Amino acid sequence: MNTTATIILALSLIIIMFGMGLSLKGSDFKAIFLRPKAIIAGLISQIILLPAVGFLLIYLFPLKPEVAVGVIILAACPGGPTSNLITHLAKGDTALSVSLTAIASFITLLSIPFIINLGLQFIMGSNTEIQLNVVETIIQVFAVVIIPVLIGMWIRARRSKFADRMQKPVRIASAVVFVLVLAGVIISERENIIPYFRQAGWVMLTLNMATMGIGLFLASTLKLPRRQGISIAIESGIQNGTLAISIATILLGNTMYSIAPAIYSLIMFGTAILVIWIALRKSDKSMIAGS
């Protein structure tokens, strides 16, 4: 991947994270203490069960090494800002979704290098020459994820009206840049994308549906409110494709590793539309029954 594309990709992630920061306030994190059961369930689903499902799938399905690595990279990157938007549209608990995204962003500073290194060794053997530098990864993830979020929160705390005005244009810019990046990956690998979609499409769909199902199961088992169940399911099944593609192309320097996250991004938007439609239908029926 050339330097210009790498810079554009990094900037796209910074814009998205900055936009998320503009929507956050310190008071939002009170949800952590007010709803500890939902927070814990969501984090277990995202940080522990999601990578476990990823490893199980690459063990069960005969995938090419570069596709398998992409699956693990994706499984190491839990829900980003997109999951917050989808949760809002599906009338889930947005505060819970934002809190889970924010907390997971900090936890993944340590979990991403660990999970990806473990995946590389599992797929390519302990003697593989490809290694993810843990310290370098933590620094880069901190620079492009945490710092933009903190800057956005800092601006909101001091210029709340400006932050409110900027949220929509920043969100639109984030979506446009992400689509362009995704299109760039697909175009650059157009000769491989169809064969890889045939090979990894069902695996990515299985990962998406399984993780959403696990989120719903946890919420149901813990008897959490419906809106919180929607949030946990979406946070579990809507992964941070931009971050996964960034890690594949910037940190590991291999566009081929970004194929699986790119395919997943296409699939998850399709299932997200279905989830929103189902959630809104159930919401409308509940309102009719209540009236």
Number of domains forming the structure of the chain? 1
Q: What is the C-alpha to C-alpha distance for residues 266 and 248, in angstroms, rounded to an integer?
A: 17
Chain-wide mean pLDDT for the chain? Answer: 78
Say what the pLDDT of residue 214 is.
92
pLDDT for 55 beyond 90? yes
Question: Does residue 33 carry a pLDDT above 80?
Answer: no
Q: What is the pLDDT of residue 175?
A: 64
When mean pLDDT is compared over 51-55, 97-101, 106-110, the highest value belongs to 51-55
291 assigned to some structural domain: no
Tell me which amino acid residue 60 is.
L
Domain annotation covers residue 203: yes
| Domain membership of residue 104 as a residue range | 3-281
- Confidence band (pLDDT; 50, 70, 90) for 83? confident
Say whether pLDDT at 287 is over 50. no
Q: What is the pLDDT of residue 54?
A: 93
Per-residue buried b or exposed e for 191-221, using 16+ beta carbons within 10 Å of the residue's own CB: ebbeebbebbbebbbbbbebbbebbbbbbee
Helix (H, G, I), strand (E, B), or coil: what is residue 247? helix
**Does residue 287 lie within any of the structural domains?**
no
106 or 185: whose pLDDT is higher? 106
- pLDDT score at 57: 92
207 domain residue, yes or no = yes
66-75, 211-220, 271-280 — which is least confidently predicted? 271-280
Percent of the chain with pLDDT strictly greater than 70: 76
Is the pLDDT at 132 greater than 50? The verdict is yes
Say which CATH number the domain at 101 has.
1.20.1530.20
Confidence of residue 9 (pLDDT cuts 50, 70, 90): low
Residue 288 placed within a domain: no
Q: Give per-residue pLDDT as tens, 234-274.
A: 888 888 777 788 788 777 777 788 888 888 877 887 787 78
Q: Is the pLDDT of residue 52 over 90?
A: yes
**Is position 141 within any domain?**
yes
Examine residue 289 and state whether it is found in any structural domain, yes or no: no
Query: What stretches of the chain show up as alpha helix (H) in DSSP?
Result: 3-22, 31-34, 36-43, 50-60, 65-75, 81-89, 94-124, 134-141, 147-158, 160-188, 190-221, 226-237, 241-246, 259-290
pLDDT of residue 35: 65
10 in a structural domain: yes
Q: Are 47 and 41 in contact (CB under 8 A)?
A: no
Q: What is the pLDDT of residue 291?
A: 46
Residue 64 has pLDDT above 90, yes or no: no
